[in-house]
Amino acid sequence: MTLVDVSSLTVRYSGATALDGVSLSLDKSEMVALIGANGAGKSTLVKALSGLVKADAGRVTVDGRLAQVPEGREVFADLSVDDNLRLGGWRNGRRGRDTSAIYDLLPALGPLRRRDAGTLSGGQQQMVAIGRALMARPDVLVIDELSLGLAPLVVQSLVDHLRTLHRERGLALLLIEQNARLALSLCSRAYVMEAGRIVLVGDAAVLASDERVTAAYLGGHYE
Amino acid sequence: MSDFLGYVLTGLGIGAGFALVGSGLVAIYRVTGVVNFAQGAFAVIAAMLTSSLLTAGLPHVLSESLAVVVAAVVGVLVGVVAIGKPGTDPGTSLIVTLGLGVFAYAVEIVLWGDQPRSFPGLSGVATIGGARIQAHYLLIIAVTVPVFAALALFFTRTDLGKALSACASNKYAARVVGIDVRRMGLLAFALGGALGGLAGVLTTPVQQVTFDSDVTLIVNGFAAAVLGGLTRPAVALAGGLLLGVTQTLIAGYGGGAYQLEVALLLMLTVMIVQAARTGPVREAAR
């Protein structure tokens, strides 16, 4: 049951190659991590998955609904939390824009529903961005940088929410993360990107003890 | 005292017209980032068309409504040319609208000639608190106020309005959730066209219109809109009304020749003050 299938994807920005023959797949209800340094091409891959950049070669197939939590959260700052969520269901049509289920899933958003999203803390905004993506009723959630700029406790609470969503709804997850330790502990499988290519792929637990991974991505982290 | 009240009420009527043109500018700028220099042309075209339709024997209200609809369609056409090509930056689109505004002169002269036109509005004189004012000014106010109320409800209570606001707030995020930003831009141009057209059909009975009346309209409309940083319709309303009243008072007690200068001076002052106050802050916030 392949949900997302990326095969030999190449994307160039005005000559510079951002993705160079990337292949990646994700099964139904699978949690997969994509790790790599800045500029490795992770965000370009996310944009290609959402159809926001065009492929120069190769193809992207998504068999189901894909929703994205973009890097930097990108909430609608001067709209209320509730309106942010509502617009997440834009593609569903009027009937699919009822936000009440999101407040059940993410109760912390309840008291904030009338606040402008721009006035919230980083962690609260990340919660809004996740809620907004869930409004699309996705089969797979793509999160570009879950933990960036957030306090460890906030990250932990977000991770708990994601685990619950995965367990209760069979939500698949593609997690793009700078914090490789976090990504490898949450996900079952992982890809490692460098300079626009996939250089390693495998079981998360195996990669977590792989020398090349520990040296490059796990060495400098706290804990 | 009754003179003063008369000037104020007349000024509110004139200012409502500015506010409509200004809010049209705001509607387009918020969503597309384009300052639409063809905004005044929407008003001129709607006014000219109304005079033709009335001459042809169509009744009032129907003529004006048709003209507003046509102005909305013209708005969409301007939008298609200005922002239709993906990746056009707002600065380029601005120049395109400037060109289209001049092109509209040619079309207007061919269709309606270069002489001033007008048509009768609400006739009669009303007396309020001892002040005698033309009843048509009250009609302008009576139409403009509910239009602004409806606009406010549209932007805050409907999903379509929220989607337009979302494009104004964060275009990238709008694309992420699947909103067609270009289509929303065209919708904004339609809205801007309708608001400009409404300004034209409402003000022409008290202020005859020529093909180049758009300059006065856009200067005043821009002055009204710039008070709210081109992004807040409610402030554009307040700005338009303030501008209308100020101009009428100056014309009433001083000389009538300085009305446009007042608008230019106000606009310049606001822009300088805003640039000095918020410019660096905005830069830093990026």
Q: pLDDT by residue (tens digit) across B91-120? A: 899 999 999 999 999 999 999 988 998 888
Q: At what angle do helices B135-157 and B159-169 cross, to 10 degrees?
A: 80
Q: What residue numbers bound the domain in which A97 lies?
A: 81-137
Helix then strand then coil, % of chain A, to nearest 5 = 40, 30, 30
Q: What is the average per-residue pLDDT within A92-99?
A: 86
Using CA atoms, how far residue A63 sits from A1, A91, A139, B36, B161, in Å, is 9, 16, 9, 42, 31
Residue A41 shares a structural domain with residue A90:
no
Place of tokens 């309209």: B217
Residues A149 and A207 in one domain: yes
C-alpha neighbours within 13 Å on the C-beta side of residue A73: 21
**Chain A CA closest to residue B157:** A83
Is the minimum CB–CB distance between A161 and chain B shorter than 8 Å? no
Are residues A59 and A147 located together in one domain of the fold?
Answer: yes
What does the angle CA B264 – CA B37 – CA B272 come to, to the nearest 5 degrees? 35
Residues of A in Cβ contact (< 8 Å) with B176: 50, 52, 68, 70, 74
Domain end position, chosen among A137, A152, A170? A137
Q: Which of A87, A94, A143 is the best mutation test for B, with the most CBs of B within 10 A?
A: A87
Interface residue B234 vs chain A (CB under 8 A): no
**Contact call for residues B116 and B122 (beta carbons, < 8 A):** no
How many A-B residue pairs are in contact by the CB < 8 A criterion?
52
Gap between the Cα atoms of B261 and B132, Å rounded? 27
Indicate yes or no: CB of B159 within 8 angstroms of CB of A132: no
Q: Does residue A145 sit in the same domain as residue A109?
A: no
Contact B126, B132 (CB under 8 A): yes
The CATH number for A155's domain is 3.40.50.300
Asked if residue B286 has pLDDT above 60, the reply is: no
| Contact assessment for residue B59 and residue B1, using Cβ atoms and an 8 Å cutoff | no
Query: What is the model's pLDDT at position A5?
Result: 92
Distance of residue B42 Cα from the nearest chain A Cα, in angstroms: 30
> Does one domain contain both A56 and A106?
no
ipTM, interface predicted TM-score of the complex: 0.87
In a domain, A175, yes or no: yes
Tens-digit pLDDT profile for residues B15-43: 999 999 999 999 999 999 899 999 999 99
Q: How confident is the model at residue B278 (pLDDT cuts 50, 70, 90)?
A: low
Instruction: Show residues of chain A in contact with B170, CB under 8 Å.
Output: 74-77
Q: Measured between CB atoms, which of A77, A86, A94 is closest to B169?
A: A77
Q: How far apart are CA A90 and CA B165, in angstroms?
A: 13
Find how far residue B221's CA is from the centre of its chain.
5
What average pLDDT does this structure show over B237-246? 89
| A141, β-bridge pairs | A67, A173
- Assigned domain for A25 exists: yes
| CA distance to partner chain B, nearest, from residue A59 (Å) | 20
Residue B1 has a pLDDT of 64
The candidate with the shortest Cα–Cα distance to B240, out of B258, B227, B255, B252, is B227
User: Any idea what DSSP says for residue B209?
Assistant: B
* Contact (CB<8Å) A132/B177: yes
- The tally of domains found in chain A comes to 2
Query: Which residues from chain A sit within 8 angstroms of residue B162, using beta carbons?
Result: 79, 83, 86-87
Residues of chain B by 3-state class (helix, strand, coil), percent to 5: 75, 5, 20
In this complex, do A74 and B166 lie within 8 Å of one another by their Cβ atoms?
no
What is the structure's pLDDT at B284? 37
Tell which wins on pLDDT, B213 or A84: A84
Please check whether residues A107 and A176 belong to one and the same domain.
no
For residues A118 and A182, membership in a common domain is answered with no
Write b or e for each residue in A28-62: b if 16 or more Cβ atoms lie within 10 A of its Cβ, otherwise e.
ebbbbbbbbeeebbbbbbbbbbbeebebeebebeb
Does the pLDDT of residue B195 top 80, yes or no? yes
* Min Cα separation B106/chain A (Å): 40
**pTM of the model as a whole:** 0.87
Find chain A residues with C-beta within 8 A of B163's C-beta.
87, 90
pLDDT of residue B13: 92
Same domain, A59 and A154: yes
Is A178 a domain residue?
yes
pLDDT value at residue B17: 92
Q: Among A109, A137, A165, where does a domain finish?
A: A137
Is residue A88 in a domain? Answer: yes
B2-277 in CATH: which number?
1.10.3470
- Which of A137, A154, A180 terminates a domain? The answer is A137
Query: Could you tell me if B211 and B41 are in contact, meaning their C-beta atoms sit under 8 angstroms apart?
Result: no
* Domain co-membership, A153 together with A50: yes
Query: Do A166 and A132 lie in a common domain?
Result: no
Do A153 and A115 reside in the same domain of the chain?
no
